Amino acid sequence: MMSSMSLSRMLRAASVCRTMSTATKLTAVEVNDKTGIATVTLSRPPINALNVELLHDLYQSIKEIENNKSRGLILTSSNDKVFSAGLDINEMYRPDKDRARLLWTKLQDVWLALYGCALPTAAAINGHAPAGGCLLATSCEYRVILPQCRIGLNEIQLGLVPPIFCMFNFLNVLPRRVAERALVQGRIFTTEQALQIGLVDDVASSKEKALEKCSQFIATFAQTNPLARSLTKLKFRGADLQRFESERTNELESFLEFIDHPQMQEDLGIYLEGLKKKNRN
């Protein structure tokens, strides 16, 4: 039988963390009632590849957290090896055209919501974060990564032109020269390299410790007026958000044109097959 001691401990724990009522299918949202910080966990096995549905759920979660006046948002993954594998290549290879349009529009929506989020944002990068995974992490204000991870924007290696928001994210985090070279070379960095160039702010030995560091970062704003904070953030990011808005339709059309190209389809097919073969050998 459960002792009254352990029951009271459980009740205390239950009152600290609650799952948000409208938590969606592919993201889990948990709010710590003590700190007011919301954690969004990407939960699309096996590797959190960003398809239409995951992007939709992520957007809903970000907006919900923002509207509920949480104290901050932490983004992490339910997979202990992969934060996110980036865009789901199956959505780009031999795509349904309407779905491909939706995919890109949803990716744009998520970027706008996360990069422009009024709350303090942090990423607990508890696994690899290539391409779209890195895009999500660098949209946040603070990043902690685990040892032996890989992170970077490697689009160019797939023959894809990194969209403008990739550039904004890197310029916001890295010195211009380092950002340009990383994008043009499609570099994927190890944990140590990412820390050394400043792509991440810190390294933690476990997911729990990474989440703790993210909470500590968000807690640094406890005494700051939230409106003044968010308006100051917007002053830094507003020009990027405006330029993005003016180019979003063109970027959508470029993406659709790009993936419609026969050579691009051939390259994506080879790339996808290479990823699968790895597991067969």
Ligand X SMILES: CCCCC/C=C\CCCC/C=C/C(=O)SCCNC(=O)CCNC(=O)[C@H](O)C(C)(C)COP(=O)(O)OP(=O)(O)OC[C@H]1O[C@@H](n2cnc3c(N)ncnc32)[C@H](O)[C@@H]1OP(=O)(O)O
**Residue from 86, 132, 133, 152 carrying the catalytic annotation:** 132
Q: Which of 32, 51, 154, 169 is catalytic?
A: 154
Q: Active site includes 11? A: no
Count helices and strands in the chain by DSSP H and E runs: 10, 10
80 binds ligand X (CB under 6 A): no
**Counting contacts by CB under 6 A, is residue 81 touching ligand X?**
yes
Q: How far is the CB of 138 from ligand X (least distance, A)?
A: 12
Distance between alpha carbon 281 and the CA centroid of its chain, in Å? 31
The verdict on whether 155 is a catalytic residue reads yes
Q: Which of 115, 217, 244, 255 binds ligand X (CB under 6 A)?
A: 255
Q: Are strands 37-42 and 17-19 parallel, antiparallel or unpaired?
A: unpaired
Number of neighbours of residue 47 by Cβ within 10 angstroms: 20
The catalytically annotated residue of 42, 87, 114, 174 is 87
Residue carrying the six token digits 């990011």? 237
Q: Encode burial over 75-88: b for 16+ CB neighbours within 10 A, e otherwise.
A: bbbbbeebbbbbbb
- CA 138 – CA 237 distance, rounded (Å): 13
Beta bridge partners of 124: 144
State the minimum distance, in angstroms, from the CB of residue 150 to ligand X. Answer: 6
Q: How far is the CB of 102 from ligand X (least distance, A)?
A: 15
Identify whether 86 is a catalytic site residue.
no
Instruction: Tell me which of 88, 141, 201, 240 binds ligand X, using CB under 6 A.
Output: 88
Distance between CA atoms of 116 and 240, rounded to whole angstroms?
Answer: 9
- Looking at residue 90, what DSSP letter applies? G
Residues 132-161 interacting with ligand X (rule: CB under 6 A): 132, 154-155, 160-161
Q: Per CB under 6 A, does 184 bind ligand X?
A: no
Q: Which residue has the tokens 């904070």?
A: 229
Question: Can you read off the two tokens belonging to residue 188?
Answer: 């994927």
85: contact with ligand X by CB under 6 A: yes
Q: Are 201 and 145 in contact (CB under 8 A)?
A: no
Instruction: Rule CB under 6 A: say whether 130 interacts with ligand X.
Output: yes
Using the rule CB under 6 A, give the single segment among 14-22, 34-42, 128-136, 172-180 that binds ligand X: 128-136
Q: Does 251 bind ligand X (CB under 6 A)?
A: yes
Binding mask 261-280 for ligand X (x = CB under 6 A): --------------xx-xx-
Residue 32's SS3 state is strand
Structure tokens at 114: 């996360």
Among residues 128, 187, 207, 233, the one that binds ligand X under rule CB under 6 A: 128
Applying CB under 6 A, the span of 7-15, 42-50, 203-211, 226-234 interacting with ligand X comes to 42-50
Residues 45-74 that bind ligand X (CB under 6 A): 46-47, 49
Query: Under DSSP, is residue 50 helix (H, G, I), strand (E, B) or coil?
Result: strand
Gap between the Cα atoms of 73 and 200, Å rounded:
17
Active site residues: 87, 132, 154-155
Q: List interacting residues with ligand X (CB under 6 A).
A: 46-47, 49, 81-82, 85-90, 128, 130-132, 154-155, 160-161, 163, 251, 254-255, 258, 275-276, 278-279
